[in-house]
């Protein structure tokens, strides 16, 4: 289970209640889960009938500046990865991700089109479709990946990793070197498997 899932589970049940109900939930474990932040990282995909953005060498990304921090800032076309797909991706994070998750896809499409018309002018075509992932509202995720605070030390990661009774923990949030990344999750899974085999 991702660390976001553990955090929301404890918040829903209450930390103290979690401690007594589950018997072995020690303070050090609860503190590690509570202190490890969860980032929300949202890639919104928009499909168009044709390309209206510049392509070619050195022209994959474009940036939009807005007085609202993080408002549809970071854009990328999909032409290099999927030629002919006529798709754009815009990346949102944290507060903007949560705001957009809470509104309808139609509202998000309207906002994104407003930004694109600001950049490319009023004559660009309407998007045909939109995909808005909802990592924060997914009860099995509650975010995209872990983000240890700047003051985190090895002990905090050890506490995230350490078993509680017969419950074992693995995943990217238990990797000291590569937390937040796919290979962190993979390597942590491998290590935990070796540990379990030794029991
Ligand atoms: C939009 C986005 C972009 C990313 N980009 C990159 C990137 O470019 N490079 C990179 O290295 N990493 C990237 N990451 C991070 C990467 O996806 C994660 O680090 C990785 O998936 C973590 O793997 P994991 O196995 O630890 O956890 P997860 O992949 O989160 O797997 C946990 C699984 O547990 C399941 N689960 C949760 N609760 C329960 C329950 N109660 N019962 C049963 N199952 C449950 C979940 O459904 C999920 O399938 C990105 C993540 C996101 C969201």
- Tens of pLDDT along 124-175? 999 999 999 999 999 999 999 999 999 999 999 999 999 988 889 999 999 9
Nearest-5° Cα angle at 14, 139 to 35: 75
Q: Is 178 in the pocket of ligand 1 (CB under 6 A)?
A: no
Pocket test for ligand 1, best of 181, 183, 192 (most atoms within 8 A of CB): 181
| pLDDT of 48 higher than 70 | yes
Residue among 168, 171, 189 whose CB has most ligand 1 atoms within 8 A, to mutate:
171
Predicted pLDDT of residue 10: 60
Domain annotation covers residue 145: no
Q: What is the CATH number of the domain that holds 125?
A: 3.90.660.10
Give the C-alpha distances (Å, rounded to integers) separating 101 from 65, 66, 131, 139, 191.
21, 19, 11, 13, 35
- pLDDT tens by residue, 55-101: 999 999 999 999 999 999 999 999 999 999 999 999 999 999 999 99
The pair phi, psi for residue 172, each rounded to 5°, is -55, -30
DSSP 167: B
- DSSP labels for 77-108? ESTTTSTT--EEEEEEEHHHHHHHHTS-HHHH
User: Which pLDDT score, from 0 to 100, does residue 15 have?
Assistant: 38
Q: What is the mean pLDDT of the chain?
A: 90
Q: Give me the mean pLDDT over the 96-117 stretch.
A: 98
The pLDDT of residue 18 is: 35
Atom of ligand 1 nearest to the CA of 179: 19
Residues 57 and 110 reside in one and the same domain: yes
Structural domain for 101, as ranges: 41-131
Q: Are residues 175 and 127 in the same domain?
A: no
Interatomic CA distance for residues 81 and 85, integer angstroms: 9
The CB of 182 under 6 Å from ligand 1? The reply is: yes
Q: Is 9 in the pocket of ligand 1 (CB under 6 A)?
A: no
- Say yes or no: 105 and 48 in one domain: yes
What are φ and ψ of residue 53, in 5° steps?
A: -110, 155
Distance 41 CA to ligand 1 centre (A): 12
Q: Is residue 144 part of a domain?
A: no
């Amino acid at each position: 289970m991702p660390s976001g899932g553990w955090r929301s589970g404890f918040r829903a049940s209450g930390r103290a209640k979690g401690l007594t109900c589950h018997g072995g939930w020690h303070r050090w474990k609860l503190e590690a889960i509570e202190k490890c932040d969860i980032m929300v990282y949202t890639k919104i995909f928009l499909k168009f009938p044709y390309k209206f953005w510049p392509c070619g060498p050195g022209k994959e990304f474009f940036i939009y500046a807005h007085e609202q921090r993080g408002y549809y800032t970071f854009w990328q076309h999909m032409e290099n990865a999927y030629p002919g797909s006529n798709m754009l991706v815009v990346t949102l994070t944290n507060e903007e991700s949560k705001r957009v998750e809470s509104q309808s896809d139609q509202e998000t499409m309207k906002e994104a089109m407003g930004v694109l018309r600001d950049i490319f002018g009023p004559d660009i075509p309407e998007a045909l479709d939109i995909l808005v992932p909802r990592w924060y509202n997914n009860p099995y995720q509650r975010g995209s990946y872990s983000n240890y605070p700047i003051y985190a030390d090895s002990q905090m990661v050890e506490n995230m990793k350490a078993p509680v009774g017969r419950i074992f923990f693995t995943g990217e949030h238990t990797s000291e070197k590569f937390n937040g990344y796919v290979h962190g999750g993979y390597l942590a899974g491998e290590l935990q498997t070796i540990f379990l085999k030794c029991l």
